[in-house]
Amino acid sequence: MPFLGRTPDIGAIADDVVTSAKIADDAVVAAAIADNVVDIARLNVSDGSNGQFLKTNGSGTMSFASITADTGRPYTDWAIKTGTYTAVDKDQLIANSGSAFTITLPAGSAGATVIICNAGAGTVTVGRNGSQKINSAAEDGTIAQGASAQLVYVDDTIGWFEI
């Protein structure tokens, strides 16, 4: 159909002509985008703040989320302990005392982990949490001076397993 006496020239849209400012809010929905056509590496996201990342809810909605110590890193920072302490998941502990003391393991859940290094002269007792086992045994463990242990909770049968 002619347009003012001529046929309109409808060609490809030039690169970088359509910007997000020219797209109405909620105009592009997940259902309108073919699978695997958005290259996440090419997204230019400018409204997230430092320490945030984009996440999806599995239904095509993306939102910003904050990185916390638990999700952003495999362990907490190293902490020096000189007396009785109850560990938490992802603890990295350096025991440094001339006297013996106890570090009690946290209540275990599959995959929980604790690292204990004994830099002090006193023996460190690794205390069980309730009836949870250490290396399949229902007894506390010990770490001598200069020794270390990384423990990962497996299940109720094995309990905390030294790796």
Does position 70 have pLDDT exceeding 50, yes or no?
A: no
Give me the residue spans of the domains in the chain: 74-162
pLDDT at 23: 73
- The C-alpha atoms of residue 153 and residue 101 are separated, in whole angstroms, by 22
* pLDDT(26) > 90: no
Q: Is the pLDDT of residue 3 over 50?
A: no
59 falls in which pLDDT band (50, 70, 90)? Answer: low
Residues 103-124 pLDDT 10s: 999 999 999 999 999 999 999 9
Residue 72 has pLDDT above 70, yes or no: no
- Tens-digit pLDDT profile for residues 36-46: 555 555 454 45
CATH number of 74-162: 2.60.120
Q: How confident is the model at residue 75 (pLDDT cuts 50, 70, 90)?
A: confident
DSSP string covering 45-94, please? --SPPTTEEEEE-SSS-EEEEE--HHHH-SSPPEEEE-S-EE--TTEEEE
